Amino acid sequence: MVKSNEVIAGGMNSKEGAESSLFPTYARYPISLVKGEGSWLWDDKGNKYLDFMCGIAVTNLGHAPVKVKEKLKAQLDELWHVSNLFQIPGQEKAASLLTENTCADAVFFCNSGAEANEAAIKLARRYHQKVKGSNRYEIITFTQSFHGRTLATLTATGQDKVKEGFLPLPAGFKSVPLHDLPALEAAIGENTAAIMMEMVQAEGGIYPVEPEFMKAVSELCSKHGLLLIVDEVQTGMGRTGKLFAHEHYGIEPDIFTVAKGLGSGFPVGAMLGKGYLRDAFTAGSHGSTFGGTPLATAAVTATIETILEEQAPQRAAESGLYLMERLKAELEGHSFVKGVRGLGLLVGIECEAPVGDIVLAGQKNGLLFITAGPNVIRLLPNLLVTKEEIDQAVSILVKLIHEHSAVEQV
């Protein structure tokens, strides 16, 4: 088919001078990664990298974990896809593994964290409106939070930068500052349906929720009949030292969501909830064509089984403590570093100035990591990372920080 060279929507023909057929929605690094094993990645030029970002908390068991790979290969020979109009035994097994190991009673499978959060928002509204017979629909979230990029989830997100150019945004969302209890209490009204929050604001700068504030949030939900939704997309599947981060706080959310580490890199998400919410999500109320396919749930089952067998959450707790202690010891008193914080293997190093150049220097020195806001270095190694690999990463990172701050001071 010959494409027209006409100017479309006020712009020049997209093929003129273009280098890619992809929309430029990502600021990509000039590295093409082609192979991964455990904590290591290789690019198409043969360069080797120690991976301390894990695809942004996705490959929690490292790259190409054996059991997940074997289960996916076996499933490829059996059945790839079947409609959710039919029974899917693998989906039932994966859901049972999740409910047996959490406080949840029911699971809805989807394809991503944004879809899981979208389902949580819909479930909260429908529960109040269809089961409780009220007009509640508002969701309260927190500034600097991140919940996804669908219209509803980016509106729920407490960061204005993700909302630019997408007006008008859906109604029914309020954001208040994290740890500001008076502001939260003032935001609750007759239309409030739920409070939605992360246990660690990862994209917002690696800020763990303070236990006393979490307790107050839980009490407010009970007092006002609100649902508590916990976004565990980045913190779930052992990342913080527990299978799910809310376990650190001694609470049981009504709804929580997971994606990233759920399938070891296979795209899958899930929304989990208490049994009494089943009456809100009845047949036909919500759905997903690809949610919980035989392939996806094979990856989920193998991932959960491996996490439990390897005691990955416990290992993450130990390794996270070791990593933070090493960083604090090496960087104590450093004028460029404001502090080290985190939970398990979700670790942030807050600095006095932007750290983008340190990320690039890390790539040149064989270490991959990312930021959490302009001034925070975010470290996300896999949960089975060794002490030797942590020592190697810390050695490189400390060197880079010293070199960067020396240049900044000139």
The pLDDT > 90 percentage for the chain reads: 93
Show the CA angle centred on residue 264, arms to residues 260 and 268, nearest 5°: 50
Residues of the chain with CATH 3.90.1150.10: 33-61+311-409
130 or 19, which is more confident: 130
Hey, how many other C-beta atoms are within 10 angstroms of the C-beta on 87? 8
The fold of the 66-309 domain, in CATH, is Aspartate Aminotransferase; domain 2 (3.40.640)
Q: Answer whether CATH 3.40.640.10 is correct for domain 33-61+311-409.
A: no
In this prediction, residues 128-147 reach a mean pLDDT of 97
CA distance 388 to 385: 8
pLDDT for res 19: 82
In this prediction, residues 185-189 reach a mean pLDDT of 98
Looking at 88-92, 331-335, 403-407, which range is the least confident one? 403-407
In this prediction, residues 49-78 reach a mean pLDDT of 98
- Which is nearest to 339 in space by CA: 371, 376, 380, 390? 376
- Which is nearest to 39 in space by CA: 71, 72, 61, 57? 61
Whole-structure pTM value: 0.94
pLDDT tens, residue by residue, 344-395:
999 999 999 999 999 999 999 999 999 999 999 999 999 999 999 999 999 9
Residues of the chain with CATH 3.40.640.10: 66-309
pLDDT tens, residue by residue, 148-178:
999 999 999 999 999 999 999 999 999 999 9
pLDDT tens, residue by residue, 306-338:
999 999 999 999 999 999 999 999 999 899 999
User: 181 pLDDT band (50/70/90 cuts)?
Assistant: very high
Phi, psi of 182 (to 5 degrees): -60, -40
pLDDT for res 408: 64
